[in-house]
A and B are shown apart, each in its own frame.
Chain A
Amino acid sequence: MTLHTALVKIEDEKISSEKAKQFIASEKNGAESIFIGRVRNQNSGKKVAAVTYDAHDQAVLKSFQSICSTAKIKFDKNAKIFLEHAKGYAPVGEISILIAVGSVHREEAFKICRHILEEVKHQSPIWKKEHYVDGKEEWLPGHSLRPKKEVK
C-alpha cells in the first residue's frame, strides 16, 4: 500500500507523526519529507484558544485520494504518501494536518508535500472556526468552489 488518507476525529484520536513515519518508510526511498500543520495561538491580532474543523467527509476523502494520486503521477509514481487532517475541536498546539512523503529523491519528496498542501487548501471542503481567548468565535473566510464563470 502506497497511499493512506484520513480525516481524524480529533476528540477521539490524535494525528501521529510516528504512524506517518512508519507508513512511508521504505528501503527503496532515499528521501522523506514531512509537513505538520498545528493550531497556532494567534491570528490577525486575535488570541486563539482552539479551532473547530468542519468537513464534508465523503467529498474530503474523495479529494484527498484525487490530490495524492495526481501528485504521484506528476512527480513520482512510486512515492509513499500519508495524509491526515483533523476534524472537530482542536486546541492550540494540536496537529491539524500531517503530510508525509517517501520518495526516491529529495526534490520529488518536497514537491509532492507542497503540492498536496496547496491542493488540500483549494480543493478539500474543510472549514475552520476559530475560538478566541475572549470567548468570541468566527468562521474564517476561504476559497470558493463555485465555478468561476458563474461568479460575476
Chain B
Amino acid sequence: MEIQLKLYGSSKILSDKDILNIQLPNNSDIKKLRDILAKIISEKYSKSDLKSLPKTAAFFSEKDEVINDSYKLRNKEFISIIPPIGGG
C-alpha cells in the first residue's frame, strides 16, 4: 500500500515536493512507517541532520490530531510528519 506524507520543517529535505509518497506493506502502522523512514534516511540522507527524525517526529492525522505508534494506516491515507517544533 501507499501513503502520502505531508512534509514540514526539516523533513522537507526528504523531497523537492511538499508531499512524499511512501510504499508500505499492507496493514502497516506508524511504527512501521518510522522503520521505513529510518531506512530511507540511512540509505539516502546519512550525511544530513535527519538521523534522529524517525524517533523524534510525531505524526498528525488528516484531522490534525497526533496519532500514536499503533495507529493502523490505510491505503492512500494522507498524514503529516511533525518534526520537533520551535517557533517564537
Contacts and interface: CB of A to CB of B under 8 A. Distances in A.
Given A54-B12, A139-B9, A126 B85 contact: yes
B82 interface: yes
A60 B85 CA distance: 11
Q: Is the interface of A mostly helix, strand, loop or mixed?
A: mixed
Contacts of A121: 85-88
Interface string A109-152: 00000000100111111111100000000111111111100110
Interface string B68-88: 110000000000101111111
Interface of B: 8-10, 12-13, 49, 55-58, 60, 64, 66, 68-69, 80, 82-88
A123 B13 CA distance: 23
Contacts of A144: 56-58, 84
Nearest to B65: A59
Nearest to A61: B64
A114 to B, nearest CB: 12
A139 B86 CA distance: 10
Given A139-B49, A147-B68, A126 B86 contact: yes
B84 A141 contact: yes
A145 B88 contact: no
B34 to A, nearest CB: 10
Interface of A: 37, 53-56, 58-60, 62, 85, 96-97, 117, 120-129, 138-147, 150-151
Nearest to A99: B88
Contact of B85 (A127, A129, A138): A127
A143 to B, nearest CB: 6
A127 B87 contact: yes
A151 B86 contact: no
B88 A150 contact: no
